[in-house]
């Protein structure tokens, strides 16, 4: 598919929107699980950070890109723990 002048292709835009929606959904799920005591506060974010900080992390792979973006979102919106009720 041709890339529009000065922007992403429609396919790239669709993928970006889908990824953003998935990140928000995952963050909401983690927050709910932490709030209900089903997941230790900060445990999910720590696991994501541990994954992306591994020496053999492959940041050119889509899964690592997604994990990195999810960790960045969680940390930026919720800090170390994702529960905002504190």
Angle, alpha carbons 79-39-81 (nearest 5°): 10
Q: Is 15 within 8 Å of 62 (Cβ atoms)?
A: no
Question: What percent of the chain stands above pLDDT 90?
Answer: 55
- The residue among 86, 85, 83 whose CA lies nearest residue 31 is 83
Q: How close are the terminal C-alpha atoms of the chain, in Å? A: 48
Q: What is the pTM of this model?
A: 0.71
Residue whose token pair is 């994501």: 48
**Mean pLDDT of the region 24-33:** 93
Residue 16 pLDDT exceeds 60: yes
Alpha-carbon distance of 69 to 81, in angstroms, equals: 16
Query: For all residues of the chain together, what is the average pLDDT?
Result: 84
- The residue among 42, 46, 49 whose CA lies nearest residue 83 is 42
Q: What is the helix (H) or strand (E) element at residue 11, kind and residue range?
A: helix 10-35
């Amino acid at each position: 598919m041709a890339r529009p002048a000065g922007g992403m292709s429609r396919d790239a835009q669709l993928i970006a929107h889908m990824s953003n929606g998935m990140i928000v959904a995952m963050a909401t799920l983690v927050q709910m699980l932490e709030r209900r005591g089903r997941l230790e506060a900060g445990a999910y974010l720590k696991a994501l950070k541990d994954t992306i900080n591994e020496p053999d992390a492959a940041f050119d792979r889509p899964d690592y890109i997604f994990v990195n973006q999810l960790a960045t979102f969680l940390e930026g919106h919720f800090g170390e723990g994702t529960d905002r009720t504190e």
